[in-house]
Chains A and B, each alone.
Chain A
Amino acid sequence: MTELEIKQLQATACKVRMGVIEGTHGAKAGHPGGSLSAADMFTYLYFKELNVDPKDPKNEGRDRFVLSKGHTAPGLYSVLANRGFFPVEDLPTLRHIDSYLQGHPNMNTVPGVDMSTGSLGQGISVAAGMALGAKHQNKSYRVYTLLGDGEIQEGQVWEACMLAAHYKLDNLCVIVDNNGLQIDGPVDKVMSPYPIDEKLKAFGFHVEVIDGHDYNQIEAALNTAKTVKGQPTAILMKTTKGKGVSFMEGQASWHGKAPNDEEYAIAMNELKAALAELEGN
Chain B
Amino acid sequence: MAEVKKVATRDAYGKALAALGAEHDNLVVLDADLANATKTQTFQKAFPDRHFDCGIAEANMICVAAGMSTTGLVPFASSFAMFASGRAFEQVRNSIGYPHLNVKIGATHGGISVGEDGASHQCCEDFALMRSIPGMTVICPADGVEAEAAVKAAYEMDGPVYLRFGRLAIPVFHEEGFNFQIGKGEVLRDGTDVAIIANGLLVYEAIQAGEQLAAQGINAMVINMATVKPLDEELVLEATKKCGKVITCEEHSVIGGLGEAVCSLLSEKLPTPVRRIGVNDEFGHSGPAAALLKQFGLSAEHIVEVAKDFCGK
A interface vs B, CB < 8 Å? Answer: 60, 64, 66, 106-108, 114-116, 118-119, 121-123, 125-134, 136-137, 139, 156, 159-160, 162-163, 166-167
Q: Which residues of B contact A106 (CB under 8 A)?
A: 98-99
* B67 adjacent to A118 (CB under 8 Å): no
**Given A128-B67, A130-B70, A132-B68: A163 and B99 within 8 A (CB)?**
no
Smallest CB separation, B11 vs chain A (Å):
27
Q: Which residues of A contact B296 (CB under 8 A)?
A: none
Of the candidates B49, B73, B100, which one forms a contact with A133 in the assembled complex, judged by CB atoms under 8 Å apart? Answer: B73
Q: Which residues of B contact A166 (CB under 8 A)?
A: 55
Complex A-B, nearest 9 residue pairs according to Cβ-Cβ distance, in ascending order: A129-B67, A133-B71, A125-B63, A159-B60, A129-B64, A159-B57, A126-B67, A133-B68, A130-B67
Besides A125-B64, A130-B68, A132-B68, 6 new A-B residue pairs in contact (Cβ under 8 A), listed by A number: A115-B67, A116-B95, A119-B91, A126-B63, A126-B70, A136-B49
Q: CA–CA, A129 to B52, complex, Å?
A: 11
Q: Which residues of B contact A107 (CB under 8 A)?
A: 99
Interface size counted on chain B using CB atoms at 8 A: 28
* B64 adjacent to A128 (CB under 8 Å): yes
Chain A residues touching B, majority SS: helix
* A60 adjacent to B64 (CB under 8 Å): no
* A60 adjacent to B94 (CB under 8 Å): no
Q: CA–CA, A160 to B66, complex, Å?
A: 13
Q: Which residues of A contact B67 (CB under 8 A)?
A: 66, 115, 125-133
**Given A116-B98, A125-B64, A163-B64: A133 and B72 within 8 A (CB)?**
yes
Smallest CB separation, B74 vs chain A (Å):
11
Interface residue B28 (Cβ < 8 Å from any Cβ of A): yes
Smallest CB separation, B93 vs chain A (Å):
8
* B73 adjacent to A156 (CB under 8 Å): no
Between A and B, 15 residue pairs with Cβ closer than 8 Å are: A115-B70, A119-B91, A125-B66, A126-B66, A127-B67, A128-B60, A128-B63, A128-B67, A129-B65, A129-B67, A133-B70, A137-B72, A156-B60, A159-B55, A162-B57
Q: CA–CA, A188 to B223, complex, Å?
A: 59
* A118 adjacent to B70 (CB under 8 Å): no
Q: Which residues of A contact B66 (CB under 8 A)?
A: 115, 125-126, 129
Q: Which residues of B contact A131 (CB under 8 A)?
A: 67
Interface residue B119 (Cβ < 8 Å from any Cβ of A): no
Interface residue B54 (Cβ < 8 Å from any Cβ of A): yes
**Given A122-B91, A126-B95: A160 and B63 within 8 A (CB)?**
yes
Q: CA–CA, A60 to B67, complex, Å?
A: 14
* B94 adjacent to A136 (CB under 8 Å): no
Closest to A125 in B: B63
Interface string of B90-134 (1 = CB under 8 A from A): 110011001110000000000000000000000000000000000
* B63 adjacent to A156 (CB under 8 Å): yes
Closest to B65 in A: A129
**Given A137-B71, A156-B59: A118 and B65 within 8 A (CB)?**
no
